[in-house]
A and B are shown apart, each in its own frame.
Chain A
């Protein structure tokens, strides 16, 4: 197995974890918040809200801007 494949497998594992937690939150009664609830909680204060929105803006800047 190459390092390239190991690196990709790591990303896929993280994505699988995110999907599994979201399914647990929305399809079962497990005490797991959904990703939306997590974001809503993080964005309750103004600093949290601006922080999350700036993180979103940064993604756009990172992939497209100089």
Chain B
């Protein structure tokens, strides 16, 4: 006769369960990447970014750990897709409202100067909404797809990592982390002239929001 222990769903509720959950969540590589970003962003003079990254890293570690403790055999499961889709006419209205909202957002936030508190609030607000929407899964179902071809995937990784390393080498060749260099410009330095004007900021914000929506639908 077996003695029934606590059900897996109850594990995180035990004393110290939350700590256990967070520790179990540290197995996710994304958590470590976010912690690294939080650290390096903070020491390069952007403490707000650093704190936000830290909050997401801890939240993700706790969430991943909680699920791992509840279903230790399941491993990393795909995020569930939401299937509630608006009917045709309502969907068209929703898309038009979304486009109008995006244009208004880009116009208003783009009118604020960079690194000001109103611009910061606008970016944090939308970023938080999009991350929270994404946390619950894709907004529409997509086929799972098969395995990606290894050689092609490695080629993508090589190009993207090369881009990151090139940017990092330009950053490290600046006089300091917070002083730009004309000889070794980072992408931020190169985009400064565009982002110095209100229309330029609005165009970049439009592209940023559009890419965010594209990601939410993945």
Shortest Cβ distance from residue B52 to the other chain A in the assembled complex, whole angstroms = 7
Q: Point out the residues of chain B lying under 8 angstroms from A23, CB to CB.
A: none
Residues B24-47 near A (CB distance < 8 A): 28, 30-31, 33-34, 37, 41, 46
Interface size on A, residues (CB 8 A): 47
Q: For residue B120, which residues in chain A have a CB less than 8 angstroms away from its CB?
A: 61, 64-66
Q: Which label, helix, strand, loop or mixed, suits the secondary structure of the B interface? A: helix
Do A11 and B37 have beta carbons less than 8 Å apart? no
Q: Assign chain B's interface to a size class.
A: 35 or more
B114-131 interface mask toward A, CB cutoff 8 Å, 1 = contact, 0 = none?
111101101110111011
**8 Å CB contact of A51 from B33, B78, B149, B195:** B33
Binary flags per residue of B167-206, CB closer than 8 Å to A gives 1, else 0: 0001000000000001111011011000100000100110
Report, nearest first, the 7 A-B pairs whose CB atoms are least far apart.
A32-B152, A57-B127, A31-B149, A51-B30, A14-B163, A17-B159, A65-B120
Q: How far is the CA of A19 from the CA of B26 in the complex (A)?
A: 35
Q: Which residues from 99 to 147 on chain B have a C-beta closer than 8 Å to any C-beta of chain A?
A: 109, 114-117, 119-120, 122-124, 126-128, 130-131, 134-135, 137-138, 142, 144-145
Whole-angstrom distance between the alpha carbons of A51 and B131 in the complex?
9
Q: Is the CB of A37 within 8 A of B183?
A: no
Residues of A within 8 A of B211 (CB): 56
| Closest CB in chain A relative to B178 CB, distance in Å | 13
B204 and A63: CB pair below 8 A? yes
B residues near A48, Cβ cutoff 8 Å = 30
Task: Give me the interface of B with A, judged by CB distance under 8 Å.
Answer: 28, 30-31, 33-34, 37, 41, 46, 48-49, 52-53, 56, 60, 63-64, 67, 76-79, 109, 114-117, 119-120, 122-124, 126-128, 130-131, 134-135, 137-138, 142, 144-145, 148-149, 151-153, 155-156, 159-160, 162-163, 166, 170, 182-185, 187-188, 190-191, 195, 201, 204-205, 208, 211-212, 215-216, 218
B59 to chain A minimum Cβ distance, whole angstroms, is 8
A64 touches B53 (CB 8 A): no
CA distance A48 to B33 in the complex (A): 11
Q: Which of B77, B159, B191, B208 contacts A60 (CB 8 A)?
A: B208
Which partner residue on chain B sits nearest A48 by CB separation? Answer: B30
- Tell me which residues across on chain A come within 8 A of B188, comparing CB atoms: 62-63
Apart from the given pairs A32-B151, A47-B31, A51-B60, 17 other A-B contacts in the complex at a CB distance below 8 Å: A2-B183, A11-B190, A14-B163, A18-B163, A21-B156, A31-B151, A32-B149, A36-B218, A40-B142, A45-B76, A56-B208, A56-B212, A57-B52, A58-B41, A62-B46, A63-B114, A66-B116
Q: Which residues of A sit under 8 angstroms from B190, Cβ to Cβ?
A: 8, 11
